[in-house]
């Protein structure tokens, strides 16, 4: 049990470390050499080509303008400068709504903190039971400010119950306003957007296999029959694992070629050579540029063959397709209705935007999906409740004796006293730390196995799993000591009324723990986030050892993105803590407020300058945030009931029973009132956009616009060789044969006219497109995406007039 002084010391240490991080960040970010680590977003947005301050040679790496050191905290006002509308423009709606969660936290907890501190602390302090019991019970100063200090059977509990009602109503009010706001932001965003391929496209899965007909024919026939006035075209999905491998290989070779060409340009006197053997260490020495050109040529030939094979072979067409319609209305209708008599066939859903598609999961059959879901939910349950078992097993192995047995030559070192004690303290925790570090990745992999077809969905599902883990292992695990497995066991053997009592009674005692937790994980953790230490180190390491070309440098930048699977559950945990402790130990609230404020600033800065979202789900995660806050309210009400029932406040506790029911009703209402805006696309909206578009662009060639929007990214590859461009478009209607490489400026595939024209611009455009769609590095972002889309239209208009 910590005293107020202990908390003070802890706060001091954590504030100090947070400040140290912030200071380090402030110093590092103004060094030109770090510019790509702290401002990558601007590079991707093409708003920045090189660090702002160039100066002399030293000035390229170190900031010599000493006045900037004096204003080292000026990133904070800078981060605040952008308006919300600008952030939406700059980083998308997801990011803007993510920031709103923090402001929502501030809006909810600011008044709650003031009211709770002003009312509850005097109420709790003045009733002083704990001071009488001091000899029996070890209590802290914090406990004097908490509900523990109130005598059993006191009528003061009416005040606590009243405040619980007040806080619940206030939170619900804020939640309602926010949901309303975000739902209309979402609709406004969707309405204001330029034409997007996913507005016209529906993904249809489980296309039945008709004997003697290809999948493409079945799809065409089915939609021409059932959506005769709206069906436009479709894009088949190919199974191209082997081709993907070749693409990756080619990319590697291309990179080496670029490197040697650059080298040759810089030192034209010496033509670069390399050895052909393993890692270039031995073998015949050859001219590098010629060698790689030859290699690429060979590979291109193989790729062309493989590509042709994939496209011609009906076996490689998966029973899934992206079906496009000639109007948003048609797509909205198809996405929301049941197509076939057998509801496991012809399953239609909105297509995610092309960047968001998780290609590997598209072709999972229906039964397999059911089985996968079952298996994964069982695994998540096991993971949440039994994860300590394998870790304990590993820990039992990873002790000193084991280490000595495995590596006997280490014995003399291990037997040194200080190393021994260090290892003894370190080893057992290692397995746990590694587990916790890889947990989010494991959860994402589990979500992938579950079979979701959009990255955004994957991340949301992983976030949900992580939330359950945190709720059980961090929140409940800290309150009732013992592993989750022990908790499960005791829950199974306790009655439904006993469980909230057991948890409720220990809640006030754990306030100091959670205050420390908030400071360590919240304050210092957030300050560490802005420093991006890991990215900084990795970028400089890559820069030193791996970066050969400008393209490599671009790739070495790791802007990252808001890590939803980890940040959303963390955030929700803070909401839970705040709501649970608001009435019990209000002194915890200011710490949460500081967290929300700091995190808001940091993430605002990161979103503006660093993160580069890989997809735009248009705030699709909001319903989850909303319902988890509601769950927090319910948990807090149940626990308060449990706590009060141990305080023998029999005349006041029953008043609380109605509150969870009302909260649930509120949730149900919100769900039916707002959630459809996140799951469906109203026809009114679709029709309005269709009409507006038809009026503005009556001659729009939608078919050309949609032609290869949902082509698997690896097929959107290109061959650049001595200024010759071969653009391969794989489209059922247009080409079933592919040009052999090196066929000069002639396009062998009968693609739409605008593709025939070859210009330097087009080459660049294709280059970008390929780069952005490259299989391994999805560095695309909103801007480029829109830019590209508009660009492509530009071509289609531009060239259509001059065939």
Assess 802 for contact with a copy of itself (CB under 8 A).
Answer: no
| Cβ(191)–Cβ(685) below 8 Å | yes
Assess 333 for contact with a copy of itself (CB under 8 A).
Answer: yes
Kindly state the tokens that stand for 101. 């969660």
Give the separation between CA 576 and CA 471, rounded to whole angstroms: 9
Give the separation between CA 68 and CA 766, rounded to whole angstroms: 41
Instruction: Choose between 470 and 677: whose C-beta lies nearer to a copy of itself.
Output: 677
Assess 346 for contact with a copy of itself (CB under 8 A).
Answer: yes
Assess 211 for contact with a copy of itself (CB under 8 A).
Answer: no
Instruction: Choose between 47 and 367: whose C-beta lies nearer to a copy of itself.
Output: 367
Instruction: Choose between 37 and 670: whose C-beta lies nearer to a copy of itself.
Output: 670
Interacting residue with a copy of itself among 253, 687, 700, 763 (CB under 8 A)? 687
Query: Which among 795, 647, 667, 683 is positioned nearest to 146, based on CA atoms?
Result: 647
Assess 660 for contact with a copy of itself (CB under 8 A).
Answer: no
Alpha helices by DSSP H, listed for 267-287, are: none
Interacting residue with a copy of itself among 131, 338, 360, 646 (CB under 8 A)? 338
Instruction: Choose between 11 and 655: whose C-beta lies nearer to a copy of itself.
Output: 655
Instruction: Choose between 54 and 382: whose C-beta lies nearer to a copy of itself.
Output: 382
Interacting residue with a copy of itself among 245, 668, 733, 777 (CB under 8 A)? 668
Interacting residue with a copy of itself among 226, 379, 543, 734 (CB under 8 A)? 226
Q: Which stretch binds a copy of itself (CB under 8 A): 24-32, 219-227, 352-360, 615-623?
A: 219-227
Interacting residue with a copy of itself among 665, 743, 761, 764 (CB under 8 A)? 665
Interacting residue with a copy of itself among 99, 123, 236, 332 (CB under 8 A)? 332
Interacting residue with a copy of itself among 404, 498, 721, 788 (CB under 8 A)? 498
324 φ/ψ angles, rounded to the nearest 5 degrees: -110, 150
Assess 495 for contact with a copy of itself (CB under 8 A).
Answer: yes
Interacting residue with a copy of itself among 102, 238, 595, 674 (CB under 8 A)? 674
DSSP per-residue string spanning 704-757: HHHTTTTS-GGGS-EEEETTEEEE----TTT-SS-PPTT-TT---S---GGGT-
Which pairing describes strands 317-325 and 285-287: parallel, antiparallel, or unpaired? unpaired
Assess 538 for contact with a copy of itself (CB under 8 A).
Answer: no
Q: Which stretch binds a copy of itself (CB under 8 A): 433-441, 488-496, 560-568, 787-795?
A: 488-496
* Residue reference for tokens 């009416």: 158
Applying CB under 8 A, what is the total number of residues that bind a copy of itself? 50
Q: Edge-to-edge, what's the strand order for the sheet holding 231-238?
A: 231-238, 317-325, 201-205, 347-350
Assess 224 for contact with a copy of itself (CB under 8 A).
Answer: no
Assess 496 for contact with a copy of itself (CB under 8 A).
Answer: yes
Interacting residue with a copy of itself among 421, 441, 478, 497 (CB under 8 A)? 497
Q: What own/partner pairs with CB < 8 Å and gap ≥ 24 does 335-338 have? A: 335/202, 335/681, 336/680, 336/681
Structure letter (DSSP) for residue 357: B
| Cβ(718)–Cβ(729) below 8 Å | no
Instruction: Choose between 133 and 378: whose C-beta lies nearer to a copy of itself.
Output: 378
Instruction: Choose between 65 and 368: whose C-beta lies nearer to a copy of itself.
Output: 368
Residues 6+ apart with CB under 8 A from 233: 323, 324, 703, 706, 707, 733
Please compute, for residue 284, the number of CA atoms within 13 A of its CA located in the half-sphere on the CB side. 3
| Cβ(404)–Cβ(434) below 8 Å | no
Instruction: Choose between 13 and 687: whose C-beta lies nearer to a copy of itself.
Output: 687
Task: Name the helix (H) or strand (E) containing 233.
Answer: strand 231-238
Interacting residue with a copy of itself among 669, 744, 776, 798 (CB under 8 A)? 669
Give the separation between CA 30 and CA 64, rounded to whole angstroms: 10
Interacting residue with a copy of itself among 378, 413, 445, 541 (CB under 8 A)? 378
DSSP per-residue string spanning 163-231: HHHHHHHHHHHHHHHHHHHHHHHHHHHHHHSPP-GGGSEEEEE-----TTS-HHHHHHHHHHHHSTTTE
| Cβ 327 to a copy of itself shortest distance, Å | 11
Give the separation between CA 340 and CA 362, rounded to whole angstroms: 19
What is the separation of C-alpha 552 from the centre of its chain, rounded to a whole number of angstroms? Answer: 24
Instruction: Choose between 226 and 786: whose C-beta lies nearer to a copy of itself.
Output: 226
Assess 181 for contact with a copy of itself (CB under 8 A).
Answer: no
Interacting residue with a copy of itself among 684, 697, 764, 776 (CB under 8 A)? 684
| Cβ 91 to a copy of itself shortest distance, Å | 25
Q: Which stretch binds a copy of itself (CB under 8 A): 486-494, 524-532, 700-708, 759-767?
A: 486-494
Query: Which among 476, 474, 473 is positioned nearest to 387, based on CA atoms?
Result: 473
Instruction: Choose between 643 and 677: whose C-beta lies nearer to a copy of itself.
Output: 677
The site for a copy of itself (CB under 8 A) is made up of: 187, 222, 225-227, 229, 329, 332-333, 336-341, 343-344, 346, 366-367, 370-371, 373-374, 378, 491-498, 661, 665, 668-669, 672-677, 680-685, 687
């Amino acid at each position: 049990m910590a005293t107020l002084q202990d908390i003070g010391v802890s706060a001091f240490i954590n504030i100090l470390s947070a400040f140290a991080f912030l200071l380090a960040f402030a110093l590092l970010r103004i060094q030109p050499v770090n510019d790509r680590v702290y401002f990558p977003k601007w590079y991707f947005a093409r708003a920045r080509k090189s660090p702002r301050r160039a100066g002399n040679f030293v000035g390229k790496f170190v900031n010599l303008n000493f006045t900037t050191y004096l204003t080292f905290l000026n990133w904070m006002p800078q981060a605040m400068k952008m308006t919300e509308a600008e952030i939406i423009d700059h980083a998308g709606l997801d990011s803007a709504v993510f920031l709103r969660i923090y402001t929502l936290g501030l809006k909810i907890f600011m008044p709650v903190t003031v009211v709770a501190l002003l009312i509850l602390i005097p109420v709790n302090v003045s009733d002083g039971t704990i001071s009488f019991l001091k000899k029996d019970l070890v209590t802290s100063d914090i406990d004097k400010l908490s509900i523990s200090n109130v005598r059993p059977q006191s009528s003061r509990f009416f005040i606590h119950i009243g405040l619980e009602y007040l806080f619940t109503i206030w939170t619900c009010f804020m939640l309602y306003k926010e949901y309303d706001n975000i739902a209309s932001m979402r609709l406004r965003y969707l309405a204001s957007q330029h034409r997007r391929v996913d507005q016209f496209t529906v993904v249809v899965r489980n296309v039945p296999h008709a004997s003697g007909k290809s999948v493409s024919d079945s799809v065409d026939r089915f939609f021409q029959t059932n959506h005769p006035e709206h069906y436009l075209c479709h894009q088949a999905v190919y199974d191209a694992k082997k081709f993907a491998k070749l693409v990756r290989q080619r990319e590697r070779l291309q990179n080496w070629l670029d490197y040697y060409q650059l080298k040759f340009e810089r030192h034209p006197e010496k033509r670069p050579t390399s050895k052909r053997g393993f890692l270039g260490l031995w073998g015949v020495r050859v001219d590098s540029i010629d060698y790689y050109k030859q290699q690429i040529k060979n590979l291109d030939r193989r790729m062309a063959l493989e590509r042709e094979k994939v496209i011609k072979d009906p076996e490689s067409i998966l029973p899934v397709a992206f079906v496009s319609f000639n109007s948003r209305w048609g797509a909205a209708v198809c996405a929301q209705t049941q197509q076939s008599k057998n509801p496991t066939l012809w399953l239609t859903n909105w297509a995610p935007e092309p960047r968001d598609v998780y290609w590997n999961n598209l072709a999972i059959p229906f039964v397999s999906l059911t089985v996968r879901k079952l298996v994964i939910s069982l695994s998540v349950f096991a993971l949440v409740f039994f994860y300590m078992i394998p870790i304990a097993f590993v820990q039992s192995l990873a002790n000193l004796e084991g280490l000595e047995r495995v590596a006997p030559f280490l014995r003399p070192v291990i037997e040194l006293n200080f190393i021994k004690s260090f290892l003894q303290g370190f080893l057992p925790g290692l397995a746990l730390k590694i587990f916790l570090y890889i947990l989010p990745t494991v959860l994402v992999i589990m979500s992938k196995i579950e079979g979701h077809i959009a990255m955004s969905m994957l991340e949301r599902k992983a976030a949900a799993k992580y939330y359950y883990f945190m709720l059980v292992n961090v929140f409940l695990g800290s309150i009732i000591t013992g592993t989750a497995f022990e908790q499960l066991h005791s829950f199974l053997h306790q009655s439904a009324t006993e469980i909230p009592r057991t948890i409720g009674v220990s809640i006030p005692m754990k306030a100091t723990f959670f205050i420390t937790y908030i400071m360590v994980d919240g304050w210092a953790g957030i300050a560490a986030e802005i420093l991006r230490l890991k990215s900084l180190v990795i970028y400089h390491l890559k820069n030193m050892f791996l970066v050969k070309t400008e393209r490599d440098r671009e790739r070495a930048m790791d802007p990252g993105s808001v890590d939803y699977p980890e940040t959303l559950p963390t955030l929700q945990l803070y909401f839970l803590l705040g709501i649970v402790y608001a009435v019990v130990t209000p002194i915890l609230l200011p710490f949460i407020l500081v967290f929300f404020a700091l995190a808001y600033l940091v993430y605002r800065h990161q979103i503006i300058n660093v993160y580069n979202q890989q997809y735009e789900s248009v705030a699709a995660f909001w319903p989850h945030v909303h319902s988890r806050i509601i769950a927090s309210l319910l948990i807090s009400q149940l626990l308060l009931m449990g706590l009060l029932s141990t305080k023998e406040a029999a005349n006041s506790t029953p008043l609380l029973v109605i509150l969870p029911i009302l909260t649930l009703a509120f949730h149900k209402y919100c769900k039916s009132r707002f959630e459809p805006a996140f799951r469906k696309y109203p026809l009114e909206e679709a029709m309005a956009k269709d009409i507006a578009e038809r009026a503005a662009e009556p001659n729009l060639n939608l078919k050309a616009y949609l032609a290869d929007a949902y082509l698997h990214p690896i097929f959107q590859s290109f061959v650049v060789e001595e200024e010759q461009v071969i653009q391969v478009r794989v489209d059922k209607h247009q080409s079933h044969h592919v040009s052999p490489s090196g066929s000069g400026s002639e396009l062998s595939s009968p693609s739409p006219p605008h593709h025939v024209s070859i210009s330097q611009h087009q080459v660049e455009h294709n280059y970008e497109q390929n780069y952005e769609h490259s299989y391994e590095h999805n560095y695309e972002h909103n801007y480029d995406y829109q830019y590209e889309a508009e660009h492509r239209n530009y071509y289609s208009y531009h060239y259509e007039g001059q065939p």
